[in-house]
Amino acid sequence: MSDASVPTGAGAPRARLMGVPGPDGRFGEFGGRFVPESLVPACVELSSAFDEAWGDPSFHEELDGLLTTYAGRPTPVTECRRLSEQLGVRVLMKREDLAHTGSHKINNVLGQALLARRMGKQRLVAETGAGQHGVASATAAALLGLRCVVYMGEVDVARQELNVFRMRLLGAEVRPVSSGSRTLKDAVNEALRDWVATVETTHYCIGSVMGPHPYPYMVRELQRVVGDEAREQCREVLGGADPDVVVACIGGGSNAAGTFAGFVDTRSALVGVEAAGGAALGSGVPGVVHGMRSMFLQDEDGQILEAHSISAGLDYPGIGPEHAQLAAVGRATYHSVGDDEVLDAFRTLAATEGIIPALEPAHAVAWLLRAARTGEVPPGSTVLLTMSGRGDKDVAQVMEMQS
């Protein structure tokens, strides 16, 4: 566990960051457990089961074995020489796009699927936007012999047809959601309703660092492997030094939380990049949604506003509560980029490095392009960027936009 701390102001006490939250699951003023009374026992059961499993060497042995022999860990850090030369900064990429199923999502899902089996659950329900978490959930369910239902907004079903086919090929049932904005927020709503009705036999496999306690903490710990690996790999490449800047895209924020956990106790600047149409930390206010207190896009009456992003995975009107805390205490900064910048970054990375990114991490690339060109990231800096997924799923969408 990290024992990191940062000052919260001149003379202020130092607050521990990215460690174990208290029993109420709070990260400062954010987090918590705001669920119907019928779900409180399930959350308590899950919290207890995760704490027990996380302290059990045999659980880690099985999970680590799967991460190595099935998911393909450790993923490498790639030096992006041509992009570095173009930008005047040294760019390293943590290659989660090379993990099995094509993104970091498999790290979290394998852990939760093992935990579900340990708890005696026979069924997984999951929500997905870009489809990568749905694919990972369907993959783990097939591997462990569990039934799997994935909720996905109709808008996302249409723009991620390939991932929908992959989920069904893996044996999962995909249930399109027609309510609300028909995107990720609404898929979460339906998955929660399913869990309430089937909690005795079902584990809700949340895909990001969001939801009621223990999910934000549990998912961050299951994704910590990204940051822990990257920190050691960067030190090998940089002669024992840490990167000046660590950057990752943010929707709910699991890939960023996992990456930041490895660097939160270093001097590296931590940067999260949101979609301009879903910038909860740029335009949001505190509120309670989906079982957690965090920052959300809301109108003056407290109604949740629709988010927009070219990427289905960042099309969410809020952010994980631990990110809200990191922003509040100043340990991480959060920025947003627009769709045009993302498309430019998508093409730039493909043309300079032969890496086609998913549209989600293309947001992080877009911020880096802007920040290096404007001097926000000074010349000669070293930057680690988490390439959280590959762009196979998005090529058809980008091609249609260009036609």
Number of helices (H), then strands (E), belonging to the chain: the values are 15, 16
For residue 157, the domain's CATH number is: 3.40.50.1100
Task: Please indicate, yes or no, whether residues 137 and 266 belong to a single structural domain of this protein.
Answer: no
**pTM (global) more than 0.85:** yes
Distance (Å, rounded) from C-alpha 175 to C-alpha 164?
Answer: 10
Q: Looking at residue 8, what is its pLDDT?
A: 33
Reported as a single tens digit per residue, the pLDDT across 280-304 is 898 899 999 999 999 999 998 889 8
Integer Cα distance of 378 and 397 in angstroms: 34
Asked whether residue 220 is domain-assigned, the answer is: no
182 located within any domain: yes
Q: What whole-number distance in Å separates Cα of residue 90 and Cα of residue 68?
A: 29
Mean of the per-residue pLDDT values of the chain: 93
Cβ neighbours for 402, distance < 8 A, ≥ 6 positions apart: none
Residue 111 lies in a domain: yes
Whether residues 233 and 87 share a domain: the answer is yes
Q: Is residue 5 part of a domain?
A: no
Would you say residue 215 lies in a domain?
A: no
**pLDDT digits over 145-162, tens only?**
999 999 999 999 998 898
* Strand ranges in 231-367 using DSSP code E only, listed in sequence order: 245-249, 269-275, 285-289, 292-296, 332-337
Active-site residue among 43, 100, 104, 213? 104
Contact 78, 56 (CB under 8 A): no
Burial grade of 36 (CB within 10 A; 0-12, 13-18, 19 or more): exposed
Residue 34 confidence (pLDDT):
96
Q: Which pLDDT does position 184 carry in this prediction?
A: 83
The domain containing residue 155 runs over which residues?
24-66+105-204
Residue 72: left if φ>0, alpha if ψ -120 to 50, beta else—which one? left
Q: Do 109 and 38 have their domain in common?
A: yes
Predicted pLDDT at 9: 34
Q: Which of 292, 370, 296 is nearest to 337 (CA)?
A: 370
Give the strand pairing for 77-79 and 332-337. unpaired
Catalytic site residue 80?
Answer: yes
Q: Number of folded domains in the chain?
A: 2
The whole-angstrom separation of Cα 245 and Cα 267 is 9
Give dist(CA 180, CA 169) in Å, integer.
28
148 has catalytic annotation = no
- Do 261 and 396 belong together in one domain? yes
DSSP class of residue 39? G
Same domain for 178 and 199, yes or no, is yes
Q: Are residues 189 and 259 in the same domain?
A: no
| Contact indicator for 208, 128 with CB cutoff of 8 Å | no
Domain for residue 370, yes or no?
Answer: yes
Average pLDDT over residues 368-388: 98
Least confident of 13-17, 187-191, 310-314: 13-17
Sign of CA pseudo-dihedral 279, 282, 285, 291: positive
Verify that 280 and 186 share a domain, yes or no.
no
Same domain as 369, residue 338: yes
Domain stop point among 170, 204, 238? 204
